[in-house]
Structure 1
């Protein structure tokens, strides 16, 4: 989806889109000098609209929220990778890891 389609879909103007891209809240791909927005960009933009229009969150708040969301997604990806790596281990290694996780859970009171 190009800039115009993206703006029309979200009902935002050029200045708003430029701020969002400059702030790093949206990271569209670039092809031949033109931005190309994907479904993830649309979802992020809809969240930004919800935060700013519906909830009254200011730019600093949006910046913080988007950063936290990105961190959560990064952690989820790391966890998926760790679980995939663990699945490839032999039974003894899996048992030891499970035991250590259980110990840590007990220490934290979970």
Structure 2
């Protein structure tokens, strides 16, 4: 589903059109472009809500966002990759799954011993 700027502002009530345009210009939100202007999808809306939380609820300064947003993006990418890896392991024969889990526990245990 796609939304224009006015629809986004109507959906995210704590957002002004001016703020939305600034966030797009800064690259914090990256909507698709159409002949009629920017087009936002559900992922864009979720990111806009996150930005509202960070800026308005947590009072995070604008100059911190270029640091925070790439870290959050990387965290979400890592979660997607781990989910895919988990699905791949689940498709393996039971013996392979058990070996992978045991190896993970050995490695993870070693890491916890060093860190903690």
Tell me the CA shift for residue 33 of structure 1: 5.0
- Moved segments of 4+, more than 4 Å: none
In structure 2, how many angstroms separate the alpha carbons of the residues matched to 1:91 and 1:85? Answer: 12
Q: How does the TM-score come out when normalised to structure 2?
A: 0.76
| TM-score normalised by length of structure 1 | 0.79
How many residue pairs are counted as aligned between the two chains?
109
Residue of structure 2 in register with 1:2 after alignment = 4
Alignment of 1:1-110 (within 5 A): 1-10=3-12, 11-14=15-18, 16-109=19-112
- Structure 2 residue runs of 5 or longer lacking an equivalent are none
SS of 1:109 mapped into structure 2: helix
Task: Measure, in 1, the Cα distance between the counterparts of 2:76 and 2:57.
Answer: 24
Cα deviations by residue, 1:7-53 (Å, 9 ceiling, x for unpaired): 34444133x22321132211212333522112322222122122223
Give the root-mean-square deviation of aligned CA atoms: 2.1
